[in-house]
Structure 1
Amino acid sequence: MLFNNLKIAWRTLIKNKFFSLLNIIGLATGLACFLLIALYVIDELSYDRYHEKADRIYRVNSDILFGGNSMALAVSSDMMGQTLKKDYPEVEQFTRIYASNGSRLIKKGSDYLEEMLVCHVDSTFFEVFSFQPVAGDLKNALDEPNTVVISETAAKKYFNNLDVVGKTLDVNDNGGTLYKITAVIKDMPKQSHFRYDFLFSMDNLQYGFGDHLSHNFATYLLLRPGVTAKSLEAKFPDYMNRHIFPILQQVMQVKNLDDMKKSGNSLTYSLMPIKDIHLHSGRRAELSINSDIQYVYIFMAVAIFILLIACINFMNLSTARSANRAKEVGIRKVLGTTYQTLIRQFLTESTLLSFFSLVIAIAIAVFALPLFNSIAGKQISASQFFQPLFVVVLISIPFVIGLLAGIYPAFYLSSFKPITVLKGKLSGGSKKSNLRSVLVILQFSMAILLIVGTIVVYRQLGYIQQKKLGFVKDQVVVIHNTQVLGEGTKAFKNELLSIPGVKMVTDGGYLPVDNSSRNDNTFSKEAVMDMKNGFNMQVWNIDENYIPVLGMELKQGRNFSREFQSDSMALLINETTAQMLGYEDPIGKKIYKSNSNVGSELLAFTIIGVVKNFHFESLKQQIGPLCMRLGRADYTIAMKVDAARIPTMVKEIEKKFDAQAAGFPFQYSFLDASFNEMYKAEEKAGKLAFSFAVLAILIACLGLFGLAAFMAEQRTKEIGVRKVLGASVNQIMVLLSKDFLKLVAISACLAFPISWLVMNKWLQDFAFRIDIGWWVFIVAGLMAALIALFTVGFQALRAALNNPTQSLRSE
Structure 2
Amino acid sequence: MFRNYIKTAFRSLKKNKGFTFINVFGLALGLAVCLLIVFYVVDELGYDRYNTKADRIYRLNNDIKFGGHEDSYAVIPAPTAAALVSEFPEVENAARFRQTGSFRVKKGSQNIQEDKVTFADPAIFNIFTLPFVDGSATDALKAPHTAVINETLAKKYFGRTDVVGKTLVLNDTENYKITGVIKDIPRQSHFRFDLFLSMETLAESKQTTWLSNNFQTYMLLKPGANIKTVESKFSDLINRHSSAELQQFLHMSMSDLEKQGNYFRFSVTPLTDIHLKSNRVAEMGENGNIQYVYIFSAIAIFILFIACVNFMNLSTARSANRAREVGVRKVLGSARKDLVFQFLTESILITLVATLIAAVAAWLSLPLFNQMAGKEMSITLKALTWLLPTLIFIVVFVGCLAGSYPAFFLSGFQPIAVLKGKLSGGFKNGNLRSALVIFQFFISIFLIIGTLAIYNQLKYIQNKDLGFNREQVLVIKHAWILGNQTETFKQEIKQLPGVTNASLTGYTPTGGNRNSSTIYTSPVFDLKNALNGQVWTVDADYLPTMGMHLAAGRNFSKEMATDSTSLILNESAIKLLNGKSNLNQFLYKPLDDQMKKIGKYKIIGIVKDFNFNSLRENVTPLILTYGKDQGALNVRVSTKDVKGVLAQIERKWKELSPNQSFSFSFMDQDFDAIYRSEQRVGSICVAFTTFAIIIACLGLFGLAAYAAEQRNKEIGIRKVLGAGVTSIVTMLSKDFIKLVFIAILLAAPLAWWFMQRFFLESYAYRQNIQWWVVVVAASGAVLIAFVTISFQSIKAALINPVKSLRSE
TM-score, normalised to structure 2's length? 0.98
**Is the aligned partner of 1:662 residue 2:661?**
no
CA contact (8 A) 1:478 1:508 kept: no
Counterpart of 1:139 in structure 2 is 138
Q: Which amino acid aligns with 2:775?
A: I
Shifted more, 191-200 versus 430-439: the winner is 430-439
**Is the aligned partner of 1:14 residue 2:14?**
yes
What's the offset of the Cα at 1:346? 0.5
What's the offset of the Cα at 1:389? 2.1
Q: Which amino acid aligns with 2:621?
A: P
Counterpart of 2:126 in structure 1 is 127
Counterpart of 1:329 in structure 2 is 326
Distance 1:42 1:800, change over 3 A: same
Counterpart of 1:274 in structure 2 is 271
Distance 1:385 1:731, change over 3 A: farther
**Is the aligned partner of 1:109 residue 2:91?**
no
**Is the aligned partner of 1:476 residue 2:451?**
no
Counterpart of 1:510 in structure 2 is 507
Distance 1:703 1:516, change over 3 A: same
CA contact (8 A) 2:490 2:504 kept: no
Task: Specify the SS of the correspondent of 1:633.
Answer: coil
Counterpart of 1:228 in structure 2 is 226
What's the offset of the Cα at 1:25? 0.4
Task: Specify the SS of the correspondent of 1:416.
Answer: coil
> Residues of 2 paired with 1:341 and 1:664: CA distance?
79
Task: Specify the SS of the correspondent of 2:62.
Answer: strand
Q: Which amino acid aligns with 1:784?
A: A
The superposition leaves residues 284-305 of structure 1 with CA deviations (integer Å, 9 ceiling, x where unpaired) of: 1110111111111101000000
> Percentage identity across aligned positions?
48
What's the offset of the Cα at 1:428? 4.8
The superposition leaves residues 325-349 of structure 1 with CA deviations (integer Å, 9 ceiling, x where unpaired) of: 1111111111111111110011000
**Is the aligned partner of 1:561 residue 2:557?**
yes
Distance 1:730 1:384, change over 3 A: farther
Root-mean-square deviation (CA, aligned residues, Å) is: 1.4
Counterpart of 1:258 in structure 2 is 255
Counterpart of 1:494 in structure 2 is 491
What's the offset of the Cα at 1:651? 1.0
Counterpart of 1:724 in structure 2 is 720
Counterpart of 2:58 in structure 1 is 58
The superposition leaves residues 418-444 of structure 1 with CA deviations (integer Å, 9 ceiling, x where unpaired) of: 111111222454653001000001111
Q: Which amino acid aligns with 2:608?
A: K
**Is the aligned partner of 1:671 residue 2:667?**
yes
What's the offset of the Cα at 1:96? 0.6
What's the offset of the Cα at 1:114? 1.7
CA contact (8 A) 2:319 2:425 kept: no
What's the offset of the Cα at 1:324? 0.7
Counterpart of 1:47 in structure 2 is 47
Q: Which amino acid aligns with 1:5?
A: Y
Unaligned runs of 5+ in 2: none
> Residues of 2 paired with 1:710 and 1:427: CA distance?
13
> Residues of 2 paired with 1:367 and 1:191: CA distance?
22
What's the offset of the Cα at 1:742? 0.8
Distance 1:697 1:385, change over 3 A: farther
Counterpart of 2:547 in structure 1 is 551
Distance 1:643 1:335, change over 3 A: farther
CA contact (8 A) 2:505 2:628 kept: no
Counterpart of 1:78 in structure 2 is 78
TM-score, normalised to structure 1's length? 0.98
The superposition leaves residues 589-627 of structure 1 with CA deviations (integer Å, 9 ceiling, x where unpaired) of: 011112233334432111000000000110111111010
The superposition leaves residues 255-282 of structure 1 with CA deviations (integer Å, 9 ceiling, x where unpaired) of: 2x32112222111111111111111111
Q: Which amino acid aligns with 2:687?
A: S
What's the offset of the Cα at 1:385? 8.3
Counterpart of 1:653 in structure 2 is 649
CA contact (8 A) 1:126 1:139 kept: no
CA contact (8 A) 2:168 2:178 kept: yes
> Residues of 1 paired with 2:127 and 2:638: CA distance?
51
The superposition leaves residues 641-687 of structure 1 with CA deviations (integer Å, 9 ceiling, x where unpaired) of: 02402011111111111111112111110001101111111111111
CA contact (8 A) 2:426 2:707 kept: no
CA contact (8 A) 1:61 1:73 kept: yes
The superposition leaves residues 11-54 of structure 1 with CA deviations (integer Å, 9 ceiling, x where unpaired) of: 11111001100000000000001111011111111111221211
The superposition leaves residues 570-592 of structure 1 with CA deviations (integer Å, 9 ceiling, x where unpaired) of: 10000011110115221100111
> Residues of 2 paired with 1:259 and 1:252: CA distance?
10
**Is the aligned partner of 1:377 residue 2:374?**
yes
Counterpart of 1:437 in structure 2 is 434
CA contact (8 A) 2:571 2:608 kept: yes
Task: Specify the SS of the correspondent of 1:26.
Answer: helix
CA contact (8 A) 2:505 2:537 kept: no
> Residues of 2 paired with 1:753 and 1:598: CA distance?
58
Counterpart of 1:641 in structure 2 is 637
The superposition leaves residues 386-416 of structure 1 with CA deviations (integer Å, 9 ceiling, x where unpaired) of: 5212211112211111100001100011111
Counterpart of 2:798 in structure 1 is 801
Task: Specify the SS of the correspondent of 2:181.
Answer: strand
Distance 1:419 1:430, change over 3 A: farther
What's the offset of the Cα at 1:771? 1.2
Q: Which amino acid aligns with 2:12?
A: T
> Residues of 1 paired with 2:656 and 2:303: CA distance?
59
Counterpart of 1:164 in structure 2 is 163
Shifted more, 542-551 versus 239-248: the winner is 239-248
**Is the aligned partner of 1:744 residue 2:740?**
yes
Task: Specify the SS of the correspondent of 1:649.
Answer: helix
Shifted more, 412-421 versus 801-810: the winner is 801-810
Counterpart of 1:150 in structure 2 is 149
Q: Which amino acid aligns with 1:266?
A: Y
> Residues of 2 paired with 1:49 and 1:671: CA distance?
35
Distance 1:64 1:278, change over 3 A: same
> Residues of 1 paired with 2:684 and 2:775: CA distance?
23
> Residues of 2 paired with 1:385 and 1:148: CA distance?
33
Q: Which amino acid aligns with 1:37?
A: I
> Residues of 2 paired with 1:113 and 1:659: CA distance?
17
> Residues of 2 paired with 1:517 and 1:148: CA distance?
25
> Residues of 1 paired with 2:801 and 2:728: CA distance?
12
**What does 1:423-462 correspond to in 2, within 5 Å?**
423-429=420-426, 432-462=429-459
Counterpart of 2:600 in structure 1 is 604
**Is the aligned partner of 1:69 residue 2:69?**
yes
Task: Specify the SS of the correspondent of 1:539.
Answer: strand
CA contact (8 A) 2:588 2:599 kept: yes
**Is the aligned partner of 1:520 residue 2:516?**
yes
Distance 1:428 1:222, change over 3 A: closer
> Residues of 2 paired with 1:670 and 1:485: CA distance?
20
> Residues of 1 paired with 2:276 and 2:660: CA distance?
37
What's the offset of the Cα at 1:7? 0.7
**Is the aligned partner of 1:237 residue 2:265?**
no
CA contact (8 A) 1:321 1:430 kept: no
Distance 1:430 1:778, change over 3 A: closer
Distance 1:368 1:799, change over 3 A: same
Unaligned runs of 5+ in 1: none
CA contact (8 A) 1:94 1:219 kept: yes
**Shift >3 Å, 4+ stretches:** 427-432
Counterpart of 2:612 in structure 1 is 616
Counterpart of 2:681 in structure 1 is 685
> Residues of 2 paired with 1:248 and 1:598: CA distance?
11
> Residues of 2 paired with 1:138 and 1:520: CA distance?
35
**Is the aligned partner of 1:25 residue 2:22?**
no
Task: Specify the SS of the correspondent of 1:610.
Answer: strand
CA contact (8 A) 2:318 2:706 kept: yes
Q: Which amino acid aligns with 1:12?
A: S
Shifted more, 492-501 versus 314-323: the winner is 492-501
Residue-pair matches, total: 806
CA contact (8 A) 2:122 2:137 kept: no
> Residues of 2 paired with 1:492 and 1:400: CA distance?
67
**Is the aligned partner of 1:288 residue 2:297?**
no
For residue 584 of structure 2, the aligned residue among 588, 601, 604 is: 588
